[in-house]
Structure 1
Amino acid sequence: MVNRAIVAGLLTAGLMLPASARAETYNTAVLQGLDKVTARVTKLEAPVGEVVRFGTLEIIARTCEKRPPEEPPESASFLDIWEVRPGEAAVSIFRGWMFASSPALSAMEHPVYDVWVVDCHKTESSAEPTSPSGKSP
């Protein structure tokens, strides 16, 4: 169920894209995580569909979208975040969109960690380069 207050806020803040302006989809979400106990900020690169660990959290970026350069800047990622502790079942603590320009709009609430979206970018595949003959060097 969509929270109507969030949708209304997105519309008034101009964050939802009109039909003519399409966001580009990227394969990596750039996140920052704050450990509130140690006050350390960590940059996380979360490839879409892969699990990234931060402390006791497991984060999966489902998609990451960014407006084209000619539009007002905005990056957004749909994230699933679970807390996983040894000997306990995983607990879902966040599922939804996070926006780089408005981190408080849909913030993850956790006593120890904060996670927010910074950007989206494309990463090259880690395939080995091939020689002109098609064989690896």
Structure 2
Amino acid sequence: MLRRVALLAAIASLAACSQDPPAPEPVETEIPEELEGVELPEIVAEDAGIGTPMEERVATIGLLNKRNNLSQELELTPGEQRRVGDVIIRLRACERTAPWEMEKDEGAFVQMLVRERGTQSEFRRVFSGWLFKNKPSINVVEHPIYDVWVKSCAMEFPGEE
């Protein structure tokens, strides 16, 4: 009985700890004189995006046929698709990190469709997701014949040289 009481007391004390503390009251402050004349940066709408608009970006995608060891580079813009033999590669988006960010990477949202055996025009989606140039193991295209990877995403950021 004593154990049950101790257990219930412990549970009650833990439940009391999980309550959020009250939010602090706002404090009105003065703007320092040296900052009163400083021009504030223009507010950018959230949907405006930074850098090259998506439809103007160009991704270079590598495609490897493991059977014959032939590889190709495909240059696609978002929304574009290209058929190479029994494979269709679709590009939905491409991104790269901003020049001021420390860890550089490039990625693309790719869909890969492969023609079904014994058919002429039936394709099955075997991959749909983000692929990253510098971290290919994050999301892997698992197909016995074809491999797809991101080589680059051409886009610019404001102020970039």
Q: What TM-score do you get using the length of structure 1 for normalisation?
A: 0.65
2:87 equivalent in structure 1: 57
2:148 equivalent in structure 1: 115
- After superposition, residues 9-28 of structure 1 pair within 5 angstroms as 24=51, 26=54, 27-28=57-58
Name structure 1 gaps, 5 residues minimum.
Answer: 1-21, 123-137
Residue 119 of structure 1: how far off its partner (Å): 0.9
Identity of aligned residues (%): 31
Write the distance in 2 (CA, Å) between the matches of 1:24 and 1:65: 10
Write the distance in 2 (CA, Å) between the matches of 1:74 and 1:23: 16
Is the radius of gyration larger for structure 1 or structure 2? 2
Residue 24 of structure 1: how far off its partner (Å): 4.5
2:106 equivalent in structure 1: 75
1:47 equivalent in structure 2: 77
1:29 equivalent in structure 2: 59
1:71-94, CA deviations, whole angstroms, 9 ceiling, x for partnerless residues? 221111111111124435210100
| Cα gap change, 1:81 to 1:34, in 2 (>3 Å) | same
| Cα gap change, 1:31 to 1:42, in 2 (>3 Å) | same
RMSD, aligned α-carbons: 2.0
2:137 equivalent in structure 1: 104
1:2-37, CA deviations, whole angstroms, 9 ceiling, x for partnerless residues? xxxxxxxxxxxxxxxxxxxx8755522111111111
Q: Check conservation: 1:76, 1:119, Cα contact below 8 A.
A: yes
